[in-house]
Structure 1
Amino acid sequence: MNLQKVLAHQFKPIEHVLQPRDCMLYAAGIGLGARPEHPGDLQFLYEKALKVFPSFVNVIAHPGGWVQAPELEIDWVKLLHGEQAFEMHRPLEAGKTYVGTFKVTDVVDKGEGKGALILMQKTLHEVGNDDPVGTVTSTYFLRGDGGCGGTTSAAPTPHAVPERAPDGTCVLETLPQAALIYRLSGDYNPIHADPVIARKAGFERPILHGLCSLGVATRAIVQAVCGDDSDKLKSFRLRFSSPVYPGETIATEYWLDGPVVSFRARAVERDVVVLNNGRAEILE
């Protein structure tokens, strides 16, 4: 990795028209519609008074594969998505046009042979209005780029999940074809569709997109804690700890402490924690 060029990289603002069809397709991709007659699901899938599910903020106006630019010298093949967070300043609205602006906020050098972390921020605002609608932060683990220097040596401390028994669990199934639906929202990485490429990457079969798994966990918190009112979700963050395979059942355990909800999610069939150190903030 060329640290100076990574820090100096200029991202072009990206406009995204939030078409109602795209909003509904995203909602279907994260499994909404499993309750096909329930208003809590239909509000995101039916064009009458359509609402936009908040975790869609992670997907729209995305800079794409910028890490593959040759001048950055990033070993992008060894990149892993480590953490993701978003904060909603006001709800997204179907039919409006949004602009995403991006910057690298920090690079954490873990040392030679230990990799590095790139921390990014996306700010989303409506065209003609500079007030932010949503803020998204992402942490990427560059396994092949340790020892290249950084802006800091200290990674952000993950949120600690309480040691007591959870206050509740929301169990949601994923479809066997979930990755094939979700990829239509813009992430066409073949490890989510092509069995041959997935096996070459070290997986037994195509895996679910990390942001799709995040969407499932967001569904769980909105459904179980917010009473299906997505406008109550102020912020959401988690750490990706293990891949999810399409068709698996995701059990999200949660702990309530006033407006703060701690959570983690487990793939039931393998008894593996797939999302960890989760923290959501709920508007009261």
Structure 2
Amino acid sequence: MPLDYDRLMRMPAESVTQTYMARDTILYALGLGVGATNPFDGDELKYVYERNLVALPMLAVVLGAGAMNLSDPKFGVNYTMLLHGEQSLQVHRMLPVAGTVVSESRIDEIYDKGAAKGAVMYFTRKLFDQASGDLLVTIGSVVFLRGDGGFGGKSDGAPKLRPVPADRPADQQVPVHTMSNQALIYRLSGDYNPLHIDPDVAGQAGFDRPILHGLAAYGMVGRALIKALCNDDPARLRRLDVRFTSPVYPGEPLHVEVWNVGPGDAAFRLVATDRQTVVEDFGRFEFQAT
């Protein structure tokens, strides 16, 4: 059964309500490796210690998720061939360290790249504070439907991410530390895909060992850039965009290559240091400049 474009695009906006506690905020930060190298550093403790706790903005990507069951056969999506391709986050208000949020998700568009190349689906998810009704963040996701091209849809018009500057070297490099058990912790924030913990499942998918969640690496790069560019003040983050280009393995060293583009605007990519492989590209980091 081919992908049913009309049925997917008629899907109404889906709503998910989630109550989370300070414990969830702390657990998310631990899943990003916060406190792993220096557990008594005050800059680390503020994300993992309930006294004066601060929520990392990237926590939003795991809150109110779970809408849009694309694995339902009625949509005709080859779910086993789905690949998370891009992620974006626009911050409107700081996340509370605990509370109840309402998430509203919709499909924006699906582009047909042809039977051999698959399809590309764009989503938007808005996260609201239930108590105040305030819009907290807008989350964008792109998934590659590698087995669903050729359904007869349009192929042009997809948004394009901004590439990093090709005419000059990066202005700085920021090291990122990963832990060998990081996927075991991060999964407790809600992504229980066995690809990230079960060696047999990883092997069936073509990997020699379990890989780290893409959104874990996304959160880690956001944390590193908040520290490097925002004087470790998460309230200054405005936007974080990336394209996932290669898997990350728990425990391997990473570094972020950062280009200063303008006031409050940086381009970046995340590199697996030993493999010299770009694992996140087209990175865009916007923040409140001082």
TM-score between both structures, scaled by the size of structure 1? 0.97
Q: Deviations over 1:228-274 (max 9, x none)?
A: 11111111000000000000111001011221110001011211100
1: distance between equivalents of 2:141 and 2:229? 24
- Contact 2:106–2:124 (CA<8 Å) still a contact in 1? yes
Q: Deviations over 1:26-62 (max 9, x none)?
A: 0000111133122221111000111111111111100
| Aligned residue identity for 2:273 | V
2: distance between equivalents of 1:133 and 1:69? 30
| Aligned residue identity for 1:118 | M
Q: Deviations over 1:109-138 (max 9, x none)?
A: 111221000100000011143331100000
User: Which of 224, 241, 266 pairs up with 2:228?
Assistant: 224
Relative distance call for 1:31 and 1:65 in structure 2 (3 A) is farther
Instruction: Give the gaps of 5 or more residues in structure 1.
Output: none
Match of 1:280 in 2: 285
Count how many residue pairs are aligned between Structure 1 and Structure 2.
Answer: 284
Bigger drift between 38-47 and 273-282 goes to: 38-47
Match of 1:207 in 2: 211
Q: Deviations over 1:157-179 (max 9, x none)?
A: 12110121111111011000000
TM-superposed CA distance for 1:18, in Å, is 2.3
Match of 2:245 in 1: 241
User: Which of 111, 121, 125 pairs up with 1:122?
Assistant: 125
2: distance between equivalents of 1:130 and 1:29? 29
List structure 1 segments (4+ residues) > 6 angstroms apart after TM superposition: none
CA RMSD of aligned residues (A): 1.3
| Aligned residue identity for 1:234 | R
2: distance between equivalents of 1:252 and 1:66? 34
Bigger drift between 61-70 and 255-264 goes to: 61-70
TM-score between both structures, scaled by the size of structure 2? 0.95
2: distance between equivalents of 1:94 and 1:219? 16
- Contact 1:18–1:93 (CA<8 Å) still a contact in 2? no
- Contact 2:14–2:106 (CA<8 Å) still a contact in 1? no
Identity over aligned residues, as a percent? Answer: 38
2: distance between equivalents of 1:11 and 1:41? 37
User: Which of 47, 58, 61 pairs up with 2:61?
Assistant: 58
Secondary structure, aligned partner of 1:204: coil
- Contact 2:15–2:67 (CA<8 Å) still a contact in 1? no
Secondary structure, aligned partner of 2:267: strand
Secondary structure, aligned partner of 1:66: coil
Instruction: Give the gaps of 5 or more residues in structure 2.
Output: none
